[in-house]
Amino acid sequence: MPTNGEPIVRVQNLHKWFGLLHVLRGISLEIYPREVVVIIGRSGSGKSTFLRCLNLLEEPTSGRVEIDGVVVEAADGELLPESRARIRDLRLKTGMVFQEFNVFPHKTALENIIEAPMVVKGVPKEQAVEKGRELLRKVGLLDKQDVHPIRLSGGQKQRIAIARALAMEPNVMLFDEPTSALDPELIGEVLSVMKDLAMEGTTMIIVTHEMGFAHEVADRVIYMEGGMLVEEGPPDQIFTCPQDPRTRQFLARIIESGRLV
Amino acid sequence: MEATNASIPPESDPDLAVGLALVRKARRIRLIETVKVGIVWLVLLALLTAGLLQLRISPQYAFQHAGFVLRGVGTTIGVSVVSILIASGLALFGALGRLSRNPIAQGVSGLYISVIRGTPLLIQVYFIYLGLPQIGQQLKELGYPQLAEIFTLGAIEAGILALSLNYGAYMTEIFRAGLQAVGHGQYEAAAALGMTRWQMLRRIILPQAIRIIIPDVGNQFIAMQKDSALVSIMGVWEITFRANRLARKDAKFIEMLLVAAIIYWILTVVSSWLQSRLEKRMAHAYER
């Protein structure tokens, strides 16, 4: 695990309640620059909620999130007043890729990518377009720049979504089950883009069910269950000799279903 | 589709030939159906005309004076277009208010919609045209002459205000549904990119919502063109007022009301056509 100096993400004692459901039960975690962290666990374990709390798409019930110096804190179901004003700052530190892509259907591939840099950061159009085309090349879709999402496959849409998030030059990329909505034959092209990003040293937090990918790309794998981080470690350790019986049971089931490569 | 057909000669691919034949056949059947419906329309209209000609009416009078009524078309369209624009603005704010968590925004929009939908348009028109000047008069007596002027509206302004307020309230629901029909994921994607609520609304949500609500707003516009006849009671020289004026003067009610009705009908047909063209244009990004 590369421990390059100070952590870039610091989460302290994060709790999240949905009504009477206690979904996150006190999560603390530090992530270092250039680190690739993969979170695994069964559905309902709180992995996605945790990820969404990092950019405040969900408001934590209590706890503290710090990303690259921007701190947002909640207590007793409310954000602290000074934290509320920092939500956007926090979001600018992160880029998010969603399970359902959420590309903008009324904009072409290139327009999807240049929209936020121009509108949010005030980047001049030529500059945004240049950067946008560079990102399109990176995700292998330069030939689709003027195409609307309806004419793209799921894998292509997800690659546009990744490029769109990268265009804001975030410090940390968050991936929320980026391949779960894809047809099996399209998963590879998205994972390959993510592998490239990992090689370049992008800091990434990835929630996924792709165990082979996790094994190959992660610096650290975290197993979550019942809203808690049960076990974490390098992929070799988690996948070959997990310590916690819950992790063992989860992985045994995955192996039965034939998804662990 | 057409481009692919043109580039590959049909005989090179038997499947394509069969497909083209099927498409052509389906098109022919649709055309025949349309023609049949058209014939029914013509027969009905012919019967109606024949029936009318049995009455003691004078088509010559109607033709001679149609021009006088037609000169009101501009006013009717003008009042309707301005009103639908203002109503759309009100409806947008009303919808945002209803969807907002702010108690003031929610309260203001909720009361506005409730009061307007709970009272007849005719009373609203009267109140704005006749009631507001009385309020203005009393304000003047209280020593606010500038305020008093604001409350004294001309007939056209009063008509536009009444129609805008009325339609704005009904269209709030249309806008609300449109904003909600844009997927939650779109809001989240925009938020995750760091957009403010206003940027999100203007750049991501509204462009998609407008496409969804265009058919309903078009419908409202078509309805408004006819409801704008209500402003004739304030003496605005639009279609209904002009028709009514001649009808009363020469006791030619059937003739002049028919003239007005036909003009409104033609306006509606043209508006529907424009609306479908607009819908097609806005669908561009969504066609495979």
Residue-by-residue DSSP string for chain A: ----SS-SEEEEEEEEEETTEEEEEEEEEEE-TT-EEEEE--TTSSHHHHHHHHTTSS--SEEEEEETTEEEEEETTEE-HHHHTTHHHHHHHEEEE-TT----TTS-HHHHHHHHHHHHH---HHHHHHHHHHHHHHTT-GGGTT--GGGS-HHHHHHHHHHHHHTT--SEEEEESTTTTS-HHHHHHHHHHHHHHHHHT-EEEEE-S-HHHHHHH-SEEEEEETTEEEEEE-HHHHHHS-SSHHHHHHHHHHHHTT---
**Contact residues, chain A, for B192 at CB < 8 Å:** 55, 57, 91, 94-96, 98, 165
Secondary-structure percent of chain B, ordered helix, strand, coil, rounded to 5: 85, 0, 15
ipTM metric? 0.93
Q: Which amino acid is at B114?
A: S
Beta bridge partners of A79: A74
Q: What is the pLDDT of residue B4?
A: 47
- Length, in residues, of chain A: 261
A/B interface, count of CB pairs below 8 Å: 69
A119 CA: distance to closest CA in chain B (Å)? 7
A58 CA: distance to closest CA in chain B (Å)? 10
Contact (Cβ atoms closer than 8 angstroms) between residue B213 and residue B278: no
The two structure tokens encoding residue A133: 């085309």
Contacts 24+ apart (CB under 8 A), B101-110: B109/B172
B108 CA: distance to closest CA in chain A (Å)? 26
Q: Which amino acid is at B198?
A: W
Q: Which residue has the tokens 């805008």?
A: B164
Chain B positions with Cβ closer than 8 Å to A: 183, 185-186, 188-189, 191-196, 199, 203-204, 207-208, 211, 285-288
Q: Could you report the per-residue pLDDT of B51-81, keeping only the tens digit for each? A: 988 888 888 898 998 999 999 999 999 999 9
Q: Which residue has the tokens 């589709």?
A: B1
Q: What is the pLDDT of residue A1?
A: 46
Phi, psi of B58 (to 5 degrees): -120, 105
Distances (CA, A) of B118 to B89, B112, B123, B160, B228: 21, 10, 11, 19, 19
Q: Which amino acid is at A155?
A: G
For residue B285, give the nearest of A91, A94, A105 by CB distance. Answer: A105
For residue B223, give every residue at least 6 positions away whose Cβ sits within 8 Å of its Cβ, in sequence order, or none. Answer: none
A215 CA: distance to closest CA in chain B (Å)? 28
For residue A150, give the nearest of B189, B193, B288 by CB distance. Answer: B288
Tell me the average confidence (pLDDT) per consecutive run of 10 residues in chain A, 261 residues long. Answer: 76 96 96 96 94 96 96 95 94 97 96 97 97 96 96 96 97 96 94 96 95 94 95 94 93 79 49
Query: How far is the C-alpha of A33 from the C-alpha of B75, rounded, in Å?
Result: 67
For residue B188, give the nearest of A94, A98, A120 by CB distance. Answer: A98
Beta bridge partners of A206: A38, A175
Query: How far is the C-alpha of B270 from the C-alpha of B80, rounded, in Å?
Result: 14
Instruction: Give a three-class secondary structure readout of A126-188.
Output: HHHHHHHHHHHHHCCCHHHCCCCHHHCCHHHHHHHHHHHHHCCCCCEEEEECCCCCCCHHHHH
Q: What is the pLDDT of residue B11?
A: 56
**Contact residues, chain B, for A150 at CB < 8 Å:** 285-288
Among the listed residues A83, A55, A42, the one whose alpha carbon sits nearest the alpha carbon of residue A249: A42
Contact (Cβ atoms closer than 8 angstroms) between residue A74 and residue A61: yes
Q: What is the pLDDT of residue A4?
A: 60
Q: What is the pLDDT of residue B143?
A: 85
**Contact residues, chain B, for A84 at CB < 8 Å:** none
**Contact residues, chain A, for B286 at CB < 8 Å:** 105, 148, 150
Nearest chain A residue (CA) to B288:
A151
For residue B194, give the nearest of A88, A102, A104 by CB distance. Answer: A88
Distances (CA, A) of A59 to A49, B81, B196, B221: 10, 44, 17, 42
* pLDDT less than 50: residues of chain B: 1-6
Query: How far is the C-alpha of A141 from the C-alpha of A88, rounded, in Å?
Result: 29
State whether A91 and B207 contact (CB < 8 Å): no
Distances (CA, A) of A205 to A50, A74, A197, A220, B208: 11, 22, 12, 10, 31
Query: How far is the C-alpha of A120 from the C-alpha of A206, rounded, in Å?
Result: 25
Query: How far is the C-alpha of B285 from the C-alpha of B288, rounded, in Å?
Result: 8
State whether A98 and B189 contact (CB < 8 Å): yes
The two structure tokens encoding residue B79: 């009042």
Query: How far is the C-alpha of B230 from the C-alpha of B160, rounded, in Å?
Result: 11
pTM: 0.84
Question: Residue B109 CB: number of other CB atoms within 10 A?
Answer: 23
State whether B193 and A103 contact (CB < 8 Å): no
Nearest chain B residue (CA) to A147:
B285
Interface test with B, best of A55, A70, A79, A106 (most B CBs within 10 A): A106
**Dihedral angle, C-alpha B27, B28, B29, B31, nearest 10 °:** 90
Q: What is the pLDDT of residue B155?
A: 87
Phi, psi of A250 (to 5 degrees): -60, -50
**Contact residues, chain A, for B183 at CB < 8 Å:** 102
**Contact residues, chain A, for B204 at CB < 8 Å:** 104, 115
Query: How far is the C-alpha of B147 from the C-alpha of A166, rounded, in Å?
Result: 55
For residue B186, give the nearest of A55, A104, A150 by CB distance. Answer: A104
A203-207, strands of its sheet edge to edge: A94-97, A172-176, A203-207, A36-40, A220-225, A228-233
Q: Could you report the per-residue pLDDT of B188-227, keeping only the tens digit for each? A: 999 999 999 999 999 999 999 999 999 999 999 999 999 9
